[in-house]
A and B are shown apart, each in its own frame.
Chain A
Amino acid sequence: MQISMTVNGSEVVSDIEPRVLLVHYIREVLGLTGTHWGCDTTNCGTCVVLMDGQPVKSCTVLAAMAAGHDIRTVEGLATAGTLDPVQQGFMEEHGLQCGFCTPGMMLTARALLDKNPHPDDIEIRKAISGQICRCTGYATIVRSVQWAAAHPAGAVADVAATDEVLEGTDTVIPDVADAEVKA
């Protein structure tokens, strides 16, 4: 069957088998391998993409169901070569280790921040609660999203952010409120 949809701002048209999953369509037909496949049962969320701005698990969406919709993958997060603040935040705050769940986590974070630019930690945890990370233990993902919230798109990170660190510990209280934002 023929389907068409918008992926990262570009119109795509393909002939596919009706049973093809969106995750396989994105990875194998479009060659966008930043979207990963982890469980088949909608539990792990490593396949999360945005469909019309909403996070969906692309292992349980047929490509045919995405026809006519607007899909955004990790490859569409950066704009004009500039990283999305979420991407920058994950690097700043060590929100990733093996990188496998990271695209899905970042897309969910982007969708959250679009709706709620200043979420509290619990709201961030709830937003990513349908996704599994085996490496980070989530706290640094929460910090990463908070970093992104404090550094919205178009702003450049304060170069010498000073964070409070509990002496003799790794416990960092991110300096998000006071970060100097330069246009």
Chain B
Amino acid sequence: MTVIHDRPGNPAAGDADRPIGYGRIQRKEDPRFVRGQGHYIDDMVLPGMLHGAILRAPVAHARLVSIDTTNALAHPKVLAVITGKDLLALKLAWAPTLSADVQAVLVTDKVRFQGQEVAFVVAEDRYAARDALELIDVEYDLLPPVIDARKALDPDAPLIRDDLEGRTDNRIFDWEIGDEAETEAIFAAADVVVAQEVVYPRVHPAPMETCGAVADFDAVSGKLTLYETTQAPHAHRTLFAIVAGIPEHKIRIVSPDIGGGFGNKVGIYPGYILAVVGSIVTGKPVKWVEDRSENLMSTSFARDYIMQGEIAATKDGKILALRTSVLADHGAFNATAQPTKNPAGFFSIFTGSYDLKAAFCKVRGVYTNKAPGGVAYACSFRVTEAVYLVERMVDILARKLDMDPAELRLKNFIKPEQFPYANKTGWVYDSGSYEEAMRLSMKMAGYEELRREQAEKRERGELMGIGVAFFTEVVGAGPRKHFDIVGLGMADGAELRVHPTGKAVVRLSVQSQGQGHETTFAQIVAEELGIPPENIDVVHGDTDQTPFGLGTYGSRSTPVSGGAVALVARKVREKAKLIAAAMLETRPEDLEWEKGRWFVKGDPGAGKTIEEIAMAAHGTMTLPEGIDGNLDAEVTYDPPNLTFPFGAYICVVDIDPGTGHVKVRRFIAVDDCGTRINPMIIEGQVHGGLTDGVGMALMEIIEFDEAGNCLGGSFMDYLIPTAMEVPDWETGFTVTPSPHHPIGAKGIGESATVGSPPAIVNAIVDALAPYGVVHMDMPCTPARVWEAMQGRPRPPI
């Protein structure tokens, strides 16, 4: 059915037509971006600014024998060359990671991954700094590397972390959750059990803007101003205080416009610390911006989970239990960004969207001689891996039972009346209407017609696949009592000031990387107070100007800061009520709110607008007792639970039987993120995540050779979808508001990245069913698809 909608928000529209609050409005940040006036880290120029460059290790595992910096220091434009030895003297050679490990800022003892930081040059310009890297002589004594995570705990495996006292092997952690005995009992008695190894390979978020920093240390005041590409400026401030020993009130972190983050810009990288050291040493501002290879080879990768999945069911397709054992490759340092109590992130949501009798999961984390990281690339703290596992396993079960994969899912969904639903691994899903979303996606896709088309094509030997995936996300960490990062509770603040003329400023702890926070959060205030969004400025990304909070990752901005902003606006509204009552010479309880105005119940003509109240709050009238002037408020929001967005995705692929080339012909995505603030921005978030999914399913991988050389170290090797590889997305939505969130919103930033890879792989495996293929590991490159069609084992990329 097609309907005609007015599209409100056209800037040329009259004010009267403009929606206040939720709806499709243009983004407030766009006018500067389309003029090329965004202000990214590399656009920053400070007076007297110097440039830093990092010398990186060419090998994966080697003892550092010597570094000779004489020739580099002799370069006429070089001001400083900093090595690990210098940092040891400053007690800065090692920095704490976000997972309670330590990471070398510069190598002091041995190299532990290719691309690791070895020395830092500070020079007058960008080119001279790079030239000087070539003048540093380093001698390495090569050691055998650990590259394959499966061999990391072999008895003869080289010990990577000999810097850690008492460490005798490469184990980082063993973690488990669920009832192992109960799960085993159900598996033992089940009609049908299928098992499959499912590998989620190492990939990289690769934002278009790489990471960088400009450090400006003022020796007189002792104040450090650090401009850096960070998604979490406040957490960085605290960590820098701990790492560098600079008092926290003397640190200002500024996160300017960020050219994409996707989790890549959560951690503190050695380059940021080195820029600070460079500024302290030279007394001048120092800029460091990595190049693309540095970004791909040294900053936070994502995934790298080897998962053994098992699913148990009755013969008529009732899923009973899930079980998995995971080997997690964390690289050379455990620097993954995740809540302290969750070493495998939120992977335990691997029970998916299904009503199970039992589940058990165990995860083992190991060190390897590869770059550190693991939680990044819009993964919602490992929900990507969890959803991929369960959605592959359900499809494999469907094949085994000879059931339609959509039908199998519909039969096993948690039902709306079961919410709040406590799953078998400790989560309480807040709300859901899974069947509704699944049915809508099938209707949009024309599912039955697609199956008919597929059957006809199979008759003709053509390879067409239809992939179904359903996901439940878990985002918005957290309740602070359950979730912290390095001891900092995961709550977020918001401050709102309404100026005398009724224009407002809202200050946030979270930081946009392109998600449109300046628009979305203004719309939340607008909805609550009736002030038009264009009259509300959003301030973020500067720790001297914003309240404390943990930042933007794990799709937590709307679930956490969105709650904070709604509550702070309501606080202002209540204050405005008291002032309005005084203005109208009536009792507050006699007033009623309509958007933008308090009025006397039963007498709509007698009222005061928020603008009139704001002027009065700053004026000369006698204010009610307890109101000391102004129309400001602040809150810190500690969410009572996480939120659980969900969605139903259907992918249609065509495969060229001659080449194994996969074409994603259609992709239908139905998302439910609860209350929708700006549908245009939501759609954009979904589109971006779906494209990530095509990338991971078909082309993206960071691989290593046996010596530990990174094989995905440039965009010539690390392939990302272009406009030619993705279809025109078909998106739809259902709305199931979160019952505990102040405005019912759930977050949308990562849903599509989580949900799309299994839909695509399921479609590919479905297309290859005539060849007996039941599973393929990503990325499904033409070579791998073609080999699978020949019944041969997986070739290298």
CA gap between A97 and B440 in the complex, in Å: 28
Give which listed residue, B32, B680, B723, contacts A125 with CB less than 8 A: B723
Min CB distance, A31 to chain B, in Å? 8
Q: Is B612 an interface residue (CB 8 A)?
A: no
Q: A41-B716, A98-B259, A99-B38 are in contact. Are A169 and B444 (CB under 8 A)?
A: yes
Min CB distance, B209 to chain A, in Å? 5
B728 and A160: CB pair below 8 A?
no
CA gap between A37 and B40 in the complex, in Å: 11
A139 and B292: CB pair below 8 A?
no
Give which listed residue, B6, B36, B440, B714, contacts A34 with CB less than 8 A: B36
Give which listed residue, B1, B12, B34, B689, contacts A102 with CB less than 8 A: B34
- Residue numbers in B under 8 Å from A97 (CB-CB): 260, 514-516, 684, 688
Partner-contacting stretch, out of A61-69, A86-94, A111-119: A86-94
Give which listed residue, B444, B513, B687, contacts A137 with CB less than 8 A: B687
Give the 6 A-B residue pairs with the shortest CB-CB distance, closest first. A34-B36, A98-B514, A137-B687, A100-B259, A99-B33, A74-B36
Considering only residues 123-169 of chain A, those with a C-beta below 8 Å from chain B are 124-126, 128-142, 156-157, 159-169
CA gap between A162 and B207 in the complex, in Å: 35
CA gap between A83 and B689 in the complex, in Å: 30
Q: Is A43 an interface residue (CB 8 A)?
A: yes
Q: Is B619 an interface residue (CB 8 A)?
A: no
Q: Is B413 an interface residue (CB 8 A)?
A: no
A167 and B723: CB pair below 8 A?
no
Min CB distance, A140 to chain B, in Å? 6
- Residue numbers in A under 8 Å from B43 (CB-CB): 27, 33
Considering only residues 253-287 of chain B, those with a C-beta below 8 Å from chain A are 257-260, 262
B36 and A73: CB pair below 8 A?
yes
B2 and A164: CB pair below 8 A?
yes
Q: Is B781 an interface residue (CB 8 A)?
A: no
CA gap between A83 and B691 in the complex, in Å: 29
CA gap between A137 and B756 in the complex, in Å: 13
Q: A92-B10, A131-B722, A137-B690 are in contact. List 13 more A-B contacts (CB 8 A).
A: A33-B40, A37-B42, A39-B292, A44-B715, A74-B34, A98-B207, A99-B32, A134-B688, A137-B686, A137-B726, A140-B687, A168-B734, A169-B444
Min CB distance, B723 to chain A, in Å? 4
Q: Please, could you name 28 A-B residue pairs with CB atoms under 8 Å apart, sorted by A?
A: A17-B127, A20-B127, A34-B35, A38-B210, A39-B292, A90-B30, A91-B27, A91-B30, A97-B515, A99-B29, A99-B38, A100-B207, A100-B259, A101-B208, A124-B723, A126-B724, A134-B720, A135-B260, A140-B684, A140-B687, A162-B7, A163-B4, A163-B7, A164-B3, A166-B1, A168-B733, A168-B734, A169-B730
- Residue numbers in A under 8 Å from B210 (CB-CB): 38
Give which listed residue, B35, B36, B444, B684, contacts A136 with CB less than 8 A: B684
- Residue numbers in B under 8 Å from A131 (CB-CB): 722
A38 and B36: CB pair below 8 A?
no
- Residue numbers in A under 8 Å from B38 (CB-CB): 34, 99-100
A134 and B262: CB pair below 8 A?
yes
Where the two chains meet, the residues of B that have a C-beta atom closer than 8 Å to any C-beta of A are 1-7, 10-13, 17, 26-27, 29-40, 42-43, 126-127, 206-210, 257-260, 262, 291-293, 440, 444, 513-516, 679-684, 686-692, 714-716, 720, 722-724, 726, 728-734
A17-40: CB near B (< 8 Å → 1, else 0) gives: 101100010011000111111111
Q: Is A46 an interface residue (CB 8 A)?
A: yes
B208 and A100: CB pair below 8 A?
yes
Where the two chains meet, the residues of A that have a C-beta atom closer than 8 Å to any C-beta of B are 17, 19-20, 24, 27-28, 32-41, 43-44, 46, 73-75, 77-78, 83, 87-88, 90-92, 94, 96-103, 106, 121, 124-126, 128-142, 156-157, 159-172
- Residue numbers in B under 8 Å from A74 (CB-CB): 34-36
- Residue numbers in A under 8 Å from B1 (CB-CB): 166-167
Q: A40-B291, A43-B715, A138-B691 are in contact. Are A129 and B35 (CB under 8 A)?
A: no
- Residue numbers in A under 8 Å from B722 (CB-CB): 128-132, 138
CA gap between A39 and B719 in the complex, in Å: 12
Closest B residue to A166 using CB positions: B2
CA gap between A134 and B515 in the complex, in Å: 12
- Residue numbers in A under 8 Å from B258 (CB-CB): 98
Min CB distance, B256 to chain A, in Å? 11
Closest A residue to B33 using CB positions: A99
Closest B residue to A88 using CB positions: B34
A157 and B12: CB pair below 8 A?
yes
B682 and A170: CB pair below 8 A?
yes
Closest A residue to B43 using CB positions: A33
B259 and A36: CB pair below 8 A?
yes
Min CB distance, A124 to chain B, in Å? 8
CA gap between A94 and B127 in the complex, in Å: 37
Closest B residue to A173 using CB positions: B2
- Residue numbers in A under 8 Å from B691 (CB-CB): 134, 136-138
Min CB distance, A4 to chain B, in Å? 21
Min CB distance, A74 to chain B, in Å? 3
CA gap between A77 and B34 in the complex, in Å: 9
B514 and A135: CB pair below 8 A?
yes
B127 and A138: CB pair below 8 A?
no
Min CB distance, B288 to chain A, in Å? 14
- Residue numbers in B under 8 Å from A132 (CB-CB): 208, 715, 720, 722
B292 and A168: CB pair below 8 A?
no
- Residue numbers in B under 8 Å from A103 (CB-CB): 36
- Residue numbers in A under 8 Å from B720 (CB-CB): 132, 134
- Residue numbers in A under 8 Å from B680 (CB-CB): 94
Q: A91-B27, A132-B715 are in contact. Are A98 and B209 (CB under 8 A)?
A: yes
Q: A100-B38, A125-B723 are in contact. Are A94 and B5 (CB under 8 A)?
A: no
CA gap between A144 and B796 in the complex, in Å: 39
Min CB distance, A83 to chain B, in Å? 7
Q: A134-B207, A140-B687 are in contact. Are A160 and B34 (CB under 8 A)?
A: no
- Residue numbers in B under 8 Å from A37 (CB-CB): 42
Q: A36-B209, A121-B728 are in contact. Are A94 and B27 (CB under 8 A)?
A: yes
Min CB distance, B453 to chain A, in Å? 20
- Residue numbers in A under 8 Å from B291 (CB-CB): 40
Give which listed residue, A20, A78, A100, A159, contacts B209 with CB less than 8 A: A100
Min CB distance, A70 to chain B, in Å? 18
Min CB distance, A46 to chain B, in Å? 5
A169 and B209: CB pair below 8 A?
no
CA gap between A103 and B724 in the complex, in Å: 20
CA gap between A35 and B39 in the complex, in Å: 11
CA gap between A17 and B130 in the complex, in Å: 15
Min CB distance, B259 to chain A, in Å? 3
CA gap between A134 and B684 in the complex, in Å: 11
- Residue numbers in A under 8 Å from B32 (CB-CB): 99
CA gap between A25 and B259 in the complex, in Å: 21
B35 and A78: CB pair below 8 A?
yes
CA gap between A141 and B516 in the complex, in Å: 16
B731 and A171: CB pair below 8 A?
yes
Closest B residue to A168 using CB positions: B732
Q: A98-B260, A159-B13 are in contact. Are A32 and B688 (CB under 8 A)?
A: no
- Residue numbers in A under 8 Å from B12 (CB-CB): 156-157, 159
CA gap between A24 and B127 in the complex, in Å: 10
- Residue numbers in A under 8 Å from B257 (CB-CB): 98-99
- Residue numbers in A under 8 Å from B262 (CB-CB): 134
- Residue numbers in B under 8 Å from A171 (CB-CB): 730-732
A135 and B684: CB pair below 8 A?
yes
Min CB distance, B713 to chain A, in Å? 10
- Residue numbers in A under 8 Å from B726 (CB-CB): 137-139
Min CB distance, B734 to chain A, in Å? 8
- Residue numbers in B under 8 Å from A28 (CB-CB): 126
- Residue numbers in A under 8 Å from B6 (CB-CB): 160, 162
- Residue numbers in A under 8 Å from B3 (CB-CB): 164-165, 167
- Residue numbers in A under 8 Å from B207 (CB-CB): 98, 100, 134
